[in-house]
Structure 1
Amino acid sequence: MSTLTAPTIPLLNGSIAPGGSLADFIWFRTGGPAEWLVRPKDVADLSAFLSALDPAVPVLPVGVGSNLIVRDGGVPGVVIRLPKSFARIAIEPGERVRAGGGAMGITVASAARDAGIAGLEFLRGIPGTAGGAVRMNAGAYGRETADILVEATLVLRDGRVETWPAARLGYSYRHSAVPEGAIVVEALFAGVPGDTAAIGAEMDRIAAEREASQPLRSRTGGSTFKNPPGEKAWRLIDAAGCRGLRHGGAQVSEKHCNFLLNLGDATAADIEALGEMVRERVRAHSGVMLEWEIQRIGQYDGASSG
């Protein structure tokens, strides 16, 4: 990993940890450290930090790491993790919910339920933050972030703070036009009037379905591959004989084939290599080359980033 000299890193009112561990909180619980792990105090702190940071230093926002492989060589540059001060949620007129970028999907859905706002129930099934959902157009149970987002506030790589309407984000399946190095610090979602009990029942249904079908109590990274048009990735993986397939300390989940597991001692390289084995077997069996949905970041151990 390249080395940044201390003067390159501006002062911050929050915290800066050189060599900060990412494996402590990302869901796979493995992988290398961040060169600098930065937790800003508030939006103004983040804006000032980025505006003073050398433009050559890469910046990567990370939420709770529920959809992330951090390679064993670690992540060069600055990793931004939003603390609890970015997790506030407020209900606004017109069945709208304003959420900080660090707010968890389940918390946003619960706040909407308590306010009698329907349409956000699917966020109960997304195990990441509001900022991450905005960035990747996260979706589940027939809905996606693009369906409910009104606008998002970003802190751009140069420190500018801008609020973008949803249309500017150029949403497509699991993709947005959030610029590289930008951090989503707030999102405004819109729902419709609903009955609190009915909303709660739908959230309970989603929770029960996830528990029954997904390996939620394992070290995993969520859905590994995007669903190809008209297909389900898990079906293709299962048909190619990959259910339970292992490589090193990593395994394809037997409960849900589109989930990879760290059995306890897997390296990030084990997990990524297993994913590539799955992709190749699916291609050989069905002719479909699956696309990664999990984001893979950082450097291979002893190699350049990719």
Structure 2
Amino acid sequence: MPDLRGRLTANAPLAPLTWFRVGGPAQVLFVPEDEDDLAYALARLPVDIPVTMIGLGSNLIVRDGGVPGVVIRLGRGFSEIVVEEGHRIRAGSAVPDVKVARAAQDAGIAGLAFYRGIPGAIGGALRMNGGAYGGETKDVLIEARGVDRAGRLHVFSNTDMQFTYRHCGVADDVIFTSALFQGRAGDPAEIAAAMAAITDAREATQPIKSRTGGSTFKNPPGHKAWQLVDAAGCRGLVVGDAQVSELHCNFLINRGDATAADIETLGETVRRRVQETSGVMLDWEIKRIGIPA
């Protein structure tokens, strides 16, 4: 790839790139310069080399054995936010969700304040139909751009995304590069107040100052995951140095020296106990990648 402009790093540590601060290295970490550079690399990368995409690492467990193949993480070339006419915002997929909420507030665009409550980046919000505090990505997305494993660029409408609860139906090999959102006219002061209320609610009910990964399990139909975990007696449960948060028991935390195996084992223990007590099998919301030590 003589014309590659991005940064390649062999055996790159991934733990510092995740909120849990655990996990092994990437065999190769690639940070593309921009969308064209990403497409160039994917088009020329042999098909037998696995590709794994990571974002801000807020909803991710990297297993202790690391991740084979190429791990891609988008950087500055995917971090632009542009306010467009008609109460619209275009954002690169590396932009943190909270920055989109703030840009909308500054521009007097209502409808995007819920992104203040999602601890990730736009790429993850697209892939998981990220939502919080009454809003979801499917409610505000106009279109998303992405590059597939063969290096081809696609533009996906909201319908093309096939959104369901915490899920997007676009092929897993597509790496989203940007998104266009539709808001509505709003008062900046009212939007700021709504965002402040979200901030206060998160600080009061979630262990956001701990090493955590956000909501661990999806809410099953008709249930709240945290209530099932609590009813199964798992609040405060410990495996190694990983613990179910006592503040919000749909959060797992690294108390300092946990391994990825500790965290994943704790999660599987919780799933088993919840099934035994309620008959409900919880589905992971946190993504888990790589191989065990």
1:226 aligns with 2:218: yes
Q: Deviations over 1:3-56 (max 9, x none)?
A: xxxxxx776211001111110120000001111110001111111011010011
Give, as a single letter, the amino acid of the residue that structure 1 aligns with 2:32. Answer: P
Q: Is the 8 A contact 1:113 1:200 kept in 2?
A: yes
The structural deviation recorded for 1:209 is 0.3
1:187 aligns with 2:179: yes
2:21 alignment partner in structure 1:
29
Within a 5 Å distance, the mapping from 1:282-293 to structure 2 comes to 282-293=274-285
SS in 2 for 1:80: strand
- Structure 1: distance between partners of 2:26 and 2:131: 28
1:126 corresponds, among 82, 100, 118, to 118
- Structure 1: distance between partners of 2:90 and 2:24: 34
SS in 2 for 1:36: strand
2:239 alignment partner in structure 1:
247
Within a 5 Å distance, the mapping from 1:1-306 to structure 2 comes to 12-301=4-293
Q: Is the 8 A contact 1:153 1:162 kept in 2?
A: yes
Percent identity over paired residues: 58
Give, as a single letter, the amino acid of the residue that structure 1 aligns with 2:76. Answer: K
- Structure 2: distance between partners of 1:10 and 1:200: 48
- Structure 2: distance between partners of 1:107 and 1:263: 28
The structural deviation recorded for 1:141 is 0.7
Give, as a single letter, the amino acid of the residue that structure 2 aligns with 1:192. Answer: R
The structural deviation recorded for 1:191 is 0.7
1:304 alignment partner in structure 2:
none
The structural deviation recorded for 1:85 is 2.2
Q: Is the 8 A contact 2:35 2:77 kept in 1?
A: no
In the superposition, relative to structure 1, how do residues 271 and 10 fare at CA in structure 2: closer, same or farther (>3 Å)?
farther
The structural deviation recorded for 1:201 is 0.3
- Structure 2: distance between partners of 1:213 and 1:100: 30
Q: Is the 8 A contact 2:33 2:76 kept in 1?
A: no
- Structure 2: distance between partners of 1:177 and 1:285: 32
SS in 2 for 1:18: strand
RMSD of aligned alpha carbons: 1.0
Count of aligned residue pairs for this structure pair: 293
- Structure 2: distance between partners of 1:243 and 1:94: 46
Normalising by the residue count of structure 1, what TM-score does the alignment of the two structures yield? 0.94
- Structure 2: distance between partners of 1:210 and 1:227: 18
- Structure 2: distance between partners of 1:237 and 1:62: 28
Give, as a single letter, the amino acid of the residue that structure 2 aligns with 1:150. Answer: I
- Structure 2: distance between partners of 1:253 and 1:182: 34
The structural deviation recorded for 1:234 is 0.4
Give, as a single letter, the amino acid of the residue that structure 2 aligns with 1:196. Answer: P
The structural deviation recorded for 1:181 is 2.4
- Structure 1: distance between partners of 2:130 and 2:139: 10
1:6 alignment partner in structure 2:
none
- Structure 1: distance between partners of 2:183 and 2:277: 42
Q: Is the 8 A contact 1:10 1:53 kept in 2?
A: no
1:4 alignment partner in structure 2:
none
SS in 2 for 1:24: helix
